[in-house]
């Protein structure tokens, strides 16, 4: 079966506009399927994939959309669309997805888009694309296009915008994909305070022919790496800088998200993990730090970033949280602890040097982790940026590659 480009909107309100985009794609030689994700009245244009098909596939033949509460209806339809597109994509029937929507439609459609593999063309024409699009895009590769006018009828502006959107999608799905590197891709996480370690590891692995993808550990960075792993584009991980866990548990601006590490574990890729920059929680400018932390130890990284030293109690919680995640692993994983410090500023004479706080992290992780031959914790008498620690990361990663 030929794959197609799926054009999605709530066709009870945006059927004419969807048909315009679909026709433009067809004129460009693209195979199209029109998908109705509406939650209100009947579609104004007959779809190729009806809302009933989406809902029944996800919830069963007796399911009736709860249209009394629009928010619930949108959530139910978003889940149905997500499940449908993931299934179609897995079957190789999706070339790309283009969506049209206002705020509700954008939320609905991008929920499904975020579940699709990195690299599959995804374009969302939206009335909210000129604002903060982070909730819609997150760590995916969705292209957002501002509609300028509301998606409410065809006019001199909307026809140009929608025509450009169709042309952009046609270009993405018809142009041969850039040739992927034949080198095996690896993911690794880095912060400024773990750069020496990650650089040494990266340079050595690159010299061995690996394609090293470094992710800035800013919350979205870790999630983006895990999404690429889930998409099959990364086949091994050195998760050296897990600082996002601190922001997740303490309330910083770079949170890991509640599902951090889960995709790495589920993918069963070779995984070596460390505790880089878990001595700090990230906030914005100093005047944005929440008042409950006024008596804590801070370090001004720059005018826009303020770092707060994690304390013993927080570190114990982090150690237990990480262990709980890793205890679910069924493939070999190595956890390396740098006993002499987890960042450049967690050293003697540096502002975040606190051996007692570090010990709380290390001991809590070791106590909570269920060690097995395949799940090993290794404590080393080095700081994280010592050459010896980087070499130990490399050694353990190479050992996992041979298993």
d(CA 200, CA 198): 5
Mean pLDDT, to the nearest integer, of 91-107? 95
Q: Which residues in the chain are classed under CATH 3.40.50.12020?
A: 4-174
Q: Which CATH superfamily groups domain 185-401?
A: Uncharacterised protein family UPF0261, NC domain (3.40.50.12030)
- What is the reported pLDDT for 383? 98
92 pLDDT above the threshold of 90: yes
65 pLDDT above the threshold of 80: no
- What is the reported pLDDT for 285? 93
- What is the reported pLDDT for 191? 95
The sheet carrying 4-9 orders its strands as: 32-36, 4-9, 94-101, 122-126, 143-146
Above pLDDT 70, what percent of the chain? Answer: 97
- What is the reported pLDDT for 2? 79
4-174 CATH, one of 1.10.10.60, 3.40.50.300, 3.40.50.12020, 2.60.40.10: 3.40.50.12020
Residue 237's Cβ-side half-sphere holds a number of Cα atoms within 13 Å equal to 36
- What is the reported pLDDT for 403? 80
The 10 Å CB-count burial string (b at 16+, else e) for 292-307 is eeeeeebbebeeebbb
Q: Which residues contact 64 (CB under 8 A, 6 or more apart)?
A: none
- What is the reported pLDDT for 232? 87
- Which range has the worst mean pLDDT, 38-47, 120-129, 186-195? 38-47
100 pLDDT above the threshold of 80: yes
pLDDT tens, residue by residue, 347-373: 999 999 999 999 999 999 999 999 999
d(CA 5, CA 94): 6
Phi and psi torsions of 53, nearest 5°? -65, -40
pLDDT tens, residue by residue, 193-205: 999 999 999 999 9
Mean pLDDT, to the nearest integer, of 71-77? 87
Confidence at 303, pLDDT banded by 50, 70, 90 = confident
**How many other CB atoms sit within 10 Å of the CB of residue 114?**
17
d(CA 138, CA 257): 11
d(CA 248, CA 240): 17
Q: Which residues contact 361 (CB under 8 A, 6 or more apart)?
A: 275, 278, 310, 315, 316, 318, 319, 342
What is the 3-class SS of 219-281, one letter each residue? CHHHHHHHHHHHCCCCCCEEECCCCHHHHHHHCCCCCCCCCCCHHHHHHCCCEEECCCCCCEE
What are residue 379's DSSP bridge partners? 337
181 pLDDT above the threshold of 70: no
293 pLDDT above the threshold of 90: yes
Element (H, E) at 35: strand 32-36
Q: Of 390, 263, 259, which Cα lies nearest the Cα of 336?
A: 390
pLDDT tens, residue by residue, 204-259: 999 999 999 999 999 999 999 998 998 888 999 999 999 999 999 999 999 999 99
Mean pLDDT, to the nearest integer, of 135-140? 91
- The Cα-based distances of 222 to 33, 96, 99, 159, 245 in angstroms read 34, 25, 27, 39, 10
Mean pLDDT, to the nearest integer, of 9-21? 95
Mean pLDDT, to the nearest integer, of 55-59? 87
Q: Which residues contact 282 (CB under 8 A, 6 or more apart)?
A: 243, 246, 247, 252, 253, 254, 305, 306, 307, 308
- The Cα-based distances of 238 to 114, 256, 261, 264, 394 in angstroms read 24, 16, 12, 11, 9
67 pLDDT above the threshold of 90: no
Q: Which residues in the chain are classed under CATH 3.40.50.12030?
A: 185-401
98 pLDDT above the threshold of 90: yes
Give me the helix-helix angle, 158-174 and 11-27, nearest 10°. 60
1 pLDDT above the threshold of 60: no
Confidence at 308, pLDDT banded by 50, 70, 90 = very high
Mean pLDDT, to the nearest integer, of 122-128? 97
- What is the reported pLDDT for 320? 98
**Averaged pLDDT of the chain:** 94
Confidence at 179, pLDDT banded by 50, 70, 90 = low
Contact 5, 96 (CB under 8 A): yes
């Amino acid at each position: 079966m030929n794959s197609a480009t799926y054009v999605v909107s709530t066709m009870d309100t945006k059927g004419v506009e969807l048909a315009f985009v679909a026709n433009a794609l067809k004129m460009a030689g693209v195979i199209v399927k029109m998908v109705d994700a509406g939650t209100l009245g009947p579609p104004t244009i007959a779809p190729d994939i009806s809302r009933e098909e989406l809902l029944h596939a996800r919830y069963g033949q007796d399911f009736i959309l709860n249209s009394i509460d629009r928010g619930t209806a949108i959530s139910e339809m978003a889940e149905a669309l997500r499940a449908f597109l993931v299934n179609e994509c897995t079957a190789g029937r999706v070339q790309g997805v283009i969506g049209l929507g206002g705020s509700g439609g954008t939320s609905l459609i991008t929920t499904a888009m975020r579940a699709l593999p990195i690299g599959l063309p995804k374009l969302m024409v939206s009335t909210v694309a000129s604002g903060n699009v982070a909730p819609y895009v997150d760590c995916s590769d969705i292209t957002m296009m501002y509609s300028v006018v509301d998606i409410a009828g065809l006019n001199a502006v909307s026809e140009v915008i929608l025509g450009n959107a169709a042309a952009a999608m046609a270009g993405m799905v018809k142009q041969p994909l850039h040739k992927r590197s034949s080198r095996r891709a690896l993911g690794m996480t880095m912060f400024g305070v773990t750069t020496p370690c990650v650089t040494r590891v990266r340079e050595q692995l690159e010299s061995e022919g690996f394609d090293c993808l470094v992710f800035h550990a800013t919350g979205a960075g870790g999630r983006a790496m895990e999404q690429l792993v889930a998409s099959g584009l990364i086949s091994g991980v050195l998760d050296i800088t897990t600082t996002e866990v601190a922001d997740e548990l303490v309330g910083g601006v770079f949170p890991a998200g509640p599902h951090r590490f889960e995709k790495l574990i589920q993918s069963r890729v070779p995984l070596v993990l460390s505790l880089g920059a878990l001595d700090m929680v990230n906030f914005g400018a100093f005047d944005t730090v929440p008042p409950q932390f006024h008596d804590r130890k801070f370090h001004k990284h720059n005018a826009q970033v303020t770092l707060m030293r994690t304390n013993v109690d927080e570190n114990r919680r982090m150690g237990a949280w990480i262990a709980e995640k890793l205890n679910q692993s069924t493939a070999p994983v190595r956890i390396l602890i740098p006993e002499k410090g987890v960042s450049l500023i967690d050293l003697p004479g540096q502002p975040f040097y606190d051996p007692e706080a570090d010990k709380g992290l290390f001991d809590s992780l070791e106590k909570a982790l269920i060690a097995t031959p395949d799940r090993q914790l290794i404590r080393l008498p080095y700081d994280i940026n010592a050459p010896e620690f980087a070499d130990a990361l490399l050694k353990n990663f190479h050992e996992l590659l041979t298993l």
